[in-house]
Amino acid sequence: MPALSAPTAPYTKRDFEGQTVLIDIWGTWCGPCIRAMPHLHEAYRTHGGEDFTILSVALRDTRKAVKQFRAHKWEMPWDHAFVPKGSDLQKKLRDRFDIRGLPATILVGPDGQILRVHRGVGSGKKMARAISEVLAQDPGSENAPSEGADSEDTSGQESNSSL
């Protein structure tokens, strides 16, 4: 995915190897996305570092709008990708991750397995709880998510996928 600040230097899976990553698909124009910001910031303050990060992916937006949003509304001190409005990449992303609306958050484990998916209103709070639960688990414990762990969205549907 193209980086917000340097479109010719895209993010790849390699950039996040060994980390738990929250992929936050959002837009500056999206009310529920903005209401999720306090939860994302708290998760990042609490867990951000070597083992956890966030990659926000702006959809149906402009680079200028995202930069202004970050400068004047929410800092969002993590990685940012930008998918141009109407691009083939936007369609591929929407199809691959079944994005029907925003926000959509996808929690990916260090092994690349999708651990949780949340969509829509309230997804920020639900995902913040999920991040705390996943990161608090001892990898050797019986409660730790295993490869192929179930994911859920706000409609209660389960999914299992790999990034």
Global pTM? 0.82
Per-residue pLDDT at 8:
83
Mean pLDDT of 54-82: 95
Q: Which residue has the higher pLDDT, 136 or 21?
A: 21
Instruction: Give the amino acid at 80.
Output: H
What is the band of 107 on the pLDDT scale with cuts at 50, 70, 90? very high
Q: SS3 of 34, please?
A: helix
- Tens of pLDDT, residues 8-49: 889 999 999 999 999 999 999 999 999 999 999 999 999 999
Q: Which residue has the tokens 């591929």?
A: 92
Tokens of 109: 């484990």
What is the band of 139 on the pLDDT scale with cuts at 50, 70, 90? low
What is the chain's percent helix, strand, coil content, to nearest 5? 35, 20, 45
Q: How big is the chain by its Cα radius of gyration, in Å?
A: 15
First to last CA, the chain: 13
What is the band of 152 on the pLDDT scale with cuts at 50, 70, 90? very low
The 10 Å Cβ neighbour count of residue 33 is: 25
pLDDT for 160 beyond 70 = no
Tokens of 123: 């997804």
Indicate the average pLDDT of the chain: 84
Cis peptide before 103 (omega within 30 of 0): yes
Q: Are 118 and 26 in contact (CB under 8 A)?
A: no
